[in-house]
Structure 1
């Protein structure tokens, strides 16, 4: 029975092991990604016991990447993409060139053939979509200037890798691969390049001209049916269908096809609902992505080639980061933006593995070099959340933007979150004359706050004690946590309760489970939106308003 159902065994085994090791990692205050990767190592062929189907796991992971890029596209307009082209295009090109050159230098030092060094360096140059976007989403940076630059940079890298994956078989003969032959001619190479660029251009044009109108229209028509199930199915069908069609008809990557599908769907007023419908599947398959990476990892390479793995890690974490930081600063962006982009790119992932697999099949990359690449990828993915934690602390310490009298403010209400709910809460507090200080990390919201001289604010992550100190939580009369994410809100509640055991804390929730979660972390009062709405509707029925004035 087990052999007859490898798909079910892979999904169940991957998710169960990911949960177990993810929970252990969280308990040990390590990134949960570490737990997912360890789960993959345990389920992989290089450790005893249960072995999952690595091929199926990779295909399931690809679904997660498709849905993730689709979700990003929903929140990313063409205007956003074009607004950062001046820095993303040259920045990604130069950074990839630097990383590829460093990889080739390492290969030359080790005596590798030039072709192997080139493929190895190219694989080191491109960041993981999943890792980068997860870090951005956790910090609510996707809609900020830093997030737009990072996503634009990522799209340029994806386009470059699409071209590389198509051209590599064609230039394999020139590079000394095993499949050299008649195709190894300048004419054939130029024809392949032209054909590839033409198909990508045709796909983009088709999406901008036809997709921009057709996709929102279909979404609106399905929504009018009133069936939530049909709406969810339509969203998934368009996301996966366009990604699949882009890959097979235009030789565009699944990820890029899904991104453009999401971007075109973002033109619809129902884009927010579409994003919410895809969120559970996106998260589940993203977990399988990290499990699949762990399954590829051969721990023996750490014993056999420790110094080479270390050198590859330094290229990824230090070489790429320094290059990205220098490029972003050269464009006049602030240090915070440069450090965020540099940290985001200090890892490699899915495209690197695809390129490495193709390189091995073409005889351009040895299996030992592939194992070194995988080991370096695992280490970089494990270290990346730690680098972001360091960056968060640096920003909280050096970039917190508080009014001159901020630390001396007392008897005030601290409001965390300046989103749709936060804005309404602030308006009510100001209407009754309550002095309020807002804590916000989103750059667009901060820009709006800066344009309002009446509002006092602190820029930073409210879950960080240093930021709460800047807001003088010790002298505050109350704390309102208006962020929508219950886990993010829970972190803020826990940090605030540790600093002020007696402080009244009000938080928002979307379900009874969230109410229990926030209560357990120390919230004094949790507002459950649907419950409050039900009370208001009931009160309106019990005591109707006489609009005629009688």
Structure 2
């Protein structure tokens, strides 16, 4: 017992270290879990004598993952994207499976193993691709929509594949058709039961649970529903994942969808991590020297063929060449569900452990190069197929009228903000021109007569084509921080005196944009707060002239009085925000506090870039305390700084070190 506990602690420590390390080098956590599994496996640390004993518990991660996928399954969304999902997605799945099945047959595998291998390779990594495209801010581009549609079809195909693999292990070939028919009938029965329960019983259950306003009860009920649905499917001889998927799907249209997803996410992520650790344990490192050349060859073949097959699938449905190549580059890796199917195939003796290990090795290697491929896919696609985007006027087709514009406003990015600005400019008869990188949006806008053109504003030729030398102002509206900085640097290198106004959602990034050369940065959150304060002050009877003076002062001072906030239990911050945002914190001076008897000037908190936002003494609040004021016991000092500096300043005020 104590030995197992010690091994579990070691496993958790290794997981923490590997996830941290992989995150630091911008690799996805799934690779960290796989690597952790390799380290903990029988060939290295050998933490567990029987790693397969962890498999049943770890499979709950797949159950919760499929439950979450079911919550995201939206019938209206599927109908809207049906041509891409059931067109390009289905074509990719069928073509890739058949091609790699054929290759496996040529290599000497039997029919069942070949079908499984083809299915495994046909799948791509939903987790990595969606995360990477979301982080890069390109989810709404055509190439990303094609990729998402294919991923959606693949995710749907996973459910029948999880049913099919155990059936393929049947001893009698004649029983396969009957087994599939029985599984189909059982599936219909399970679907009928779950949908009936979901329509007539679960809404009442969750309504009653929600009325108790007990978070723990809601979480327990969510887990119970997912596990009961999985157990029902399992009792009929079907995949637990299928039951969980159906449970999620029937709750996906309910008003509790987002709460359910939030409740299940911590369990899903932890158990998925454990699942991929168990997958990593299946890798056999001592086979690598004999397999590495086959793994590298397989990696090259799989990546190249999947890119070409996705390009062919897109060509069948007349999609743009560049978008098709870019989507193929995003999806050329093997997916996390491929690991699931490979493990299942090994368990049912369809593949041996060496073959499964080789597939897992290729999958890990393909996932490792995916972030780079997603990032560089537009440039590679353009190099492969340097044609102009069809049906969209590029800047080489700029109208004569727009080409002769002077003293105009250049708007880079035509989302909601850019469109709102353009409408007001039009009302005031101020000429403007827009450059946007979304071909669908550009086409829609051009059809409506807007002066919008397709292009990448990070290129000098593009800026010169839109007459930047004749413009009086540049407005950057897209919410991509790194791209905005590079565009500002480019503009300032060409025309240093040209005003550049930048819109950002991230107020903690203001200083970086200003340092890059932006004339003015408009942070949405702070501007929204400023407008709200304006309304509140006006309704409170403050004269409008005084309000406008206050607003002008805040903008001129870069919103100095509005930075910093008190964090709470529900405050969610990522690593970037924690390094940039300012926290506010109230420090109460006790009798033994180091700061008692000293002035703010003596303490010199500015040495750590810590600002004193106020001081409270005997229920009196001083917004701007005198630096020479001597602090006494009971004083409350309100400080603002980055989180680690706040902690340092509090320790100094109380302990003096």
After TM superposition, the score normalised by the length of structure 2 is 0.63
Residues 1:249 and 2:235 aligned together = no
**Aligned CA distance change for structure 1 residues 365 and 263 (closer, same or farther; 3 Å):** closer
Counterpart of 2:530? 535
Give matches, 1:389-428, under 5 Å: 389-394=375-380, 398-399=387-388, 401=392, 402-403=394-395, 404-405=397-398, 412-428=408-424
**Aligned CA distance change for structure 1 residues 383 and 157 (closer, same or farther; 3 Å):** same
**Aligned CA distance change for structure 1 residues 414 and 302 (closer, same or farther; 3 Å):** farther
**Aligned CA distance change for structure 1 residues 71 and 347 (closer, same or farther; 3 Å):** farther
**Aligned CA distance change for structure 1 residues 103 and 336 (closer, same or farther; 3 Å):** same
Q: CA deviation at 1:399?
A: 4.4
Higher share of residues assigned helix: 1
**Kept in 1: contact 2:411–2:435 (CA 8 A):** yes
Q: CA deviation at 1:373?
A: 0.5
Q: Distance in 2 between matches of 1:270 and 1:469?
A: 51
Counterpart of 2:502? 506
Q: Distance in 1 between matches of 2:161 and 2:406?
A: 59
The aligned length equals 517
Counterpart of 1:196? 183
Give matches, 1:29-40, under 5 Å: 36=32, 40=36
Q: CA deviation at 1:448?
A: 2.9
Counterpart of 2:78? 78
Q: Distance in 2 between matches of 1:214 and 1:479?
A: 57
Q: CA deviation at 1:147?
A: 4.8
Q: Distance in 2 between matches of 1:376 and 1:166?
A: 24
**Kept in 2: contact 1:505–1:525 (CA 8 A):** yes
Q: CA deviation at 1:272?
A: 8.0
Q: Distance in 2 between matches of 1:278 and 1:410?
A: 56
- SS for the counterpart of 2:449 is coil
Unaligned runs of 5+ in 2: 542-657
Q: CA deviation at 1:432?
A: 3.2
**Aligned CA distance change for structure 1 residues 515 and 95 (closer, same or farther; 3 Å):** same
**Aligned CA distance change for structure 1 residues 2 and 69 (closer, same or farther; 3 Å):** farther
The superposition leaves residues 274-309 of structure 1 with CA deviations (integer Å, 9 ceiling, x where unpaired) of: 889999998898888887776665555442123321
**Kept in 2: contact 1:414–1:478 (CA 8 A):** yes
Q: Distance in 2 between matches of 1:332 and 1:102?
A: 27
Counterpart of 2:444? 448
Q: Distance in 2 between matches of 1:285 and 1:410?
A: 60
**Kept in 2: contact 1:100–1:121 (CA 8 A):** yes
**Kept in 2: contact 1:468–1:496 (CA 8 A):** no
1 or 2 for the larger relative contact order (CA 8 Å, sep ≥6)? 1
Counterpart of 2:15? 14
**Aligned CA distance change for structure 1 residues 429 and 130 (closer, same or farther; 3 Å):** same
Give matches, 1:126-275, under 5 Å: 126-138=123-135, 146-147=143-144, 149-173=146-170, 180=171, 184=172, 186=174, 188-201=175-188, 244-250=227-233, 267=253
Q: CA deviation at 1:390?
A: 3.6
**Aligned CA distance change for structure 1 residues 59 and 346 (closer, same or farther; 3 Å):** same
Q: 1:372 aligns with which of 350, 353, 358?
A: 358
Q: Distance in 1 between matches of 2:23 and 2:422?
A: 38
Q: Distance in 1 between matches of 2:263 and 2:380?
A: 35
Q: CA deviation at 1:129?
A: 2.4
Q: Distance in 1 between matches of 2:103 and 2:59?
A: 31
Q: CA deviation at 1:118?
A: 4.3
Q: Distance in 2 between matches of 1:164 and 1:96?
A: 12
**Kept in 1: contact 2:501–2:519 (CA 8 A):** yes
Q: CA deviation at 1:125?
A: 2.5
Q: Distance in 2 between matches of 1:248 and 1:270?
A: 22
Q: Distance in 1 between matches of 2:201 and 2:516?
A: 46
**Kept in 1: contact 2:442–2:452 (CA 8 A):** no
Asked which structure has the greater CA Rg, the reply is 2
Counterpart of 1:320? 306
Counterpart of 2:562? none
472-481 vs 424-433, which moves further: 472-481
- SS for the counterpart of 2:504 is strand
**Kept in 2: contact 1:167–1:192 (CA 8 A):** no
**Aligned CA distance change for structure 1 residues 540 and 479 (closer, same or farther; 3 Å):** same
Q: Distance in 2 between matches of 1:146 and 1:354?
A: 27
- SS for the counterpart of 1:500 is helix
Q: Distance in 2 between matches of 1:290 and 1:520?
A: 43
Q: Distance in 2 between matches of 1:448 and 1:260?
A: 37
Residues 1:355 and 2:347 aligned together = no
**Aligned CA distance change for structure 1 residues 452 and 387 (closer, same or farther; 3 Å):** same
Q: CA deviation at 1:369?
A: 0.9
Residues 1:307 and 2:270 aligned together = no
RMSD: 4.9
**Kept in 2: contact 1:80–1:148 (CA 8 A):** no
**Aligned CA distance change for structure 1 residues 362 and 423 (closer, same or farther; 3 Å):** same
- SS for the counterpart of 1:162 is helix
